[in-house]
Amino acid sequence: MYDSLLKKVNTAIERLRTFEPETEPYYLCYSGGKDSDTIRILAELAGVRADIVHNLTTVDAPETIHYIKSIPNVIIERAYYSDGTPKTMWNLIVKRHIPPLRHMRYCCSELKEFGGKGRLRVTGVRAAESINRKRNSGLVKIIGKPKTTLKIAEDMNLNYIISPSSSGGLILNYDNSDSRRFVEYCYRTTSTLVNPIIDWTDSEVWEFLNYYGCKANPLYQCGCKRIGCIGCPMQGQKGMQRDFEIYPTYKKAYIRTFGKLVDYYSDETISKPSSTWKTGEDIFNWWIGIDPNQLSFFD
């Protein structure tokens, strides 16, 4: 392992030790991707307690689920509605009356980010992943009760910035004792994330995993650059189209679900998309970018 990476490894380990809760384990967010494998191994190296948790989206690739189940001690959780019904991508689309979109990713908040309430969460977020991640994330990010949180941060004379994202939040980039006390005070009542590899590059992640003998999710060996949900709009339309060539069963499930949207918008009292959609396949073709006549859902 190169000295530069070894230094980052030691820093990440110290970060995890600094913020470790006194009374309970970390809630380690585990997607089955390379970054979550990295924080999983780092937590073990740091000797900190951590519940390794995968939140089931119901549209994870089968290879991803198989890989996650091969990792010891991973807890698989799923989201539920208030009446006890399990949340799935399929009933969520019907409930929301619109497919998940790049600018409307309700599926992430309801299927992936629901877990760990009142817990200190560890994620594999890295600034190098995207411009938005670089702008909106730091070593620690705290969302919720902004006025109270800001007042505490100011009283403690902490060095922080306000996240420019729509969800807001307070970002810390220092792991000193004041930061620890602040996080300890806030995490039970706010959504608090610790991102120990925020400053790592892709190549450093792979070097680290190779050094520790982690083969990672097999989808990477198939040419995937990122591990996400089947049909995730964040990968772009070419990526979506590729997904459904590989997983035709999921294509059928989306089309069947979109057919229920057609039924919903057939109600004369409902505001309708300005389109000529007749079937779920019409919506599906627009969604993955092969319908040139429809520009947006509400055109």
Pairwise CA distance, residues 28 & 36, whole Å: 8
In a domain, 236, yes or no: no
In angstroms, the CA 78 to CA 282 distance is: 30
Distance CA 33, CA 11 (A): 22
Q: Check residue 142 and report its DSSP letter.
A: E
Strands (E), the chain: 26-29, 50-56, 74-78, 120-122, 140-143, 160-162, 170-172, 191-194
Domain total in the chain: 1
Domain that holds residue 177: 3-79+115-207
Lowest mean pLDDT among 20-24, 125-129, 143-147: 143-147
Token pair 């004369």: residue? 268
Task: Say if 142 falls within a structural domain.
Answer: yes
Question: Is residue 62 a part of any domain in this protein?
Answer: yes
- The pLDDT value recorded for residue 295 is 53
Greater confidence (69 vs 274) lies with 69
- By residue count, the chain amounts to 299
Give the CATH number for residue 20: 3.40.50.620
3-state secondary structure 202-231: HHHHHHHHHHCCCCCCHHHHHCCCCCCECC
Residue 28: pLDDT band with limits 50, 70, 90? very high
Asked whether residue 99 is assigned to any structural domain, the reply reads: no
The per-residue DSSP string of 59-90 comes to -B-HHHHHHHHHSTTEEEEE-B-TTSPBP-HH
pLDDT tens, position by position, 243-274: 999 999 999 999 999 999 888 887 666 666 65
Can you say whether the dihedral through the CA atoms of 123, 129, 130, 131 is positive or negative? positive
Residue 182 belongs to some domain of the structure: yes
pLDDT band at 284 (very low <50, low <70, confident <90, very high): very high
In a domain, residue 282? The reply is: no
Cβ contact 37:214 at 8 Å: yes
Does 124 reside within a domain?
A: yes
CA angle 248, 250, 251 (to 5 degrees): 60
pLDDT band of residue 187 (cuts 50, 70, 90) is confident
Most confident residue range from 142-151, 175-184, 286-295:
175-184
pTM equals 0.89
In a domain, 217, yes or no: no
* Amino acid (one-letter) located at 139: L
